[in-house]
A and B are shown apart, each in its own frame.
Chain A
Amino acid sequence: MIAAAVSAALAILCAVAAWRLTFARWTWRAPRTAILLWQSLGLTWGLASIGALLAFALDPYRKGVVQGLAEFMLSVEFGTRQPFDYLRLAALVAGLSLLAVLVALPLAAGIQTLRARRRHRLLLALVARDEPAVPGVRVVDFPGAAAYCLPGLKSQVVITDGTLHLLSSAELEAVLAHESAHVRERHDLVLLPFAALRRALPWSKLVRDAQASVELLVEMAADDRARQRCCPRRLATALLRFGTSAALPTPQGALGAAAPSSVMARVDRLVRPEVALPATHRFLILAASAVLVTSAPLLWLLPG
């Protein structure tokens, strides 16, 4: 029973910590560390939730989740079933379903994303052009402002014609430095599981807020990389120009749905940089993440 109780407590701890983290502002001073913490909270929450349900269900075997599952399979096979009440059976079904959902959903989301990207890549090949002024960047003739990275084995940075008109050359350089940070650090892979979780639990405000937080942190991490290579002020003015370029023909003002004030938060960071989080703090957070991530699988092995 101890393993089940501790796992449940761990799952709750992760949820509470995630909730607190959506409000935290220190994360903006160390976006990469914060992203890592988010990842380990998410992973641990999943493993601990499944572990709690299964540990409770398989408690009669007193062998832990992994061994217990093996025993259970054998007992089903030989029909030598131990007294197994409905509550435990329900927990078993719930635990296995959660496991299936948490594995299948990111997988399905990944496949869907790959397919959409493939289509995007094909279309880009047909309509985008190269621009001598910005080598290595694909340019689409469209009046609105957009700059993005199409991730993949060979990631592509894409901007619109409108972006070329909107920004000065120094600003454009800053934007491209930002985008190439996304390319190099494969930020799309960071976002994928959070997007999948959001699709799995669309009604959960916590999951929605978590995804928004991670998205913002990823942008801030890329801003930090760009800042090392170019003038932060130019990156800030580029952000502001993008933010105010809404005079596009877009359906039903759908752009207004973007997360409020995230642009301003990024601009503030660039113009008035705060001191980075002290190295000792960052180290403590990393250590805590490591403990979290290892604790959940260990609980799966804990008998009784």
Chain B
Amino acid sequence: MKGLGELERSIMDILWAQNTPLTAREVGRLIEDRDLAPTTVMTVLDRLSRKGFLTRTRDGRAWRYQPAASRDAYVAELMLEALDLTGDRNAALTRFARAVSGPEAEILRRALTELEEK
């Protein structure tokens, strides 16, 4: 049995891969780990909804789940922060180095060629 985090990840992957909202039962069928209890799937779907990563709609007696945003949107959000482009609301990450542009990049490029030749 996988950890809860790992399970959240694979369920998001399943829902991102589908174009339509799925029920817990349908998600359970698509999951690799076959002997997973249906209640576990439901718990994880519920957790993800509460965290705001999934939206759900009523379909008869079941809920249908769908991602609140695309995977790319989340990657973009992470990378804006990683590149320090979010302005005020930032997580104060320590970044290795930032890219520069214009004449400064030219200086760096020359230094790089020099170092590589030696």
Measured CB to CB, the residues of A under 8 A from B are 112-113, 116-117, 119-120, 122-127, 140-142, 144-151, 158, 160, 175, 178-179, 182, 187-188, 191-192, 195, 199, 218-219, 222, 233, 236-246, 248, 250-251, 253-256, 258, 260-261, 263-264, 266-267, 271
Contacts and interface: CB of A to CB of B under 8 A. Distances in A.
Contacts, number: 157
Given A116-B81, A240-B108, A241-B112, A150 B91 contact: yes
A116 B85 contact: no
B75 interface: yes
Interface string B1-14: 00001001100100
Interface centre among A150, A182, A199 (most CB of B within 10 A): A150
Given A237-B115, A244-B105, A146 B51 contact: no
Interface of B: 5, 8-9, 12, 51, 53, 71, 74-75, 77-79, 81-85, 88-102, 104-105, 107-109, 111-112, 115-116
Given A244-B108, A250-B83, A264-B108, A146 B115 contact: no
B64 to A, nearest CB: 20
A275 B29 CA distance: 65
A244 B112 CA distance: 9
Contact of B94 (A112, A120, A149, A243): A149
A126 B98 CA distance: 25
B9 A120 contact: no
B109 A239 contact: no
A250 B104 CA distance: 17
Contact of B97 (A243, A250, A261): A243
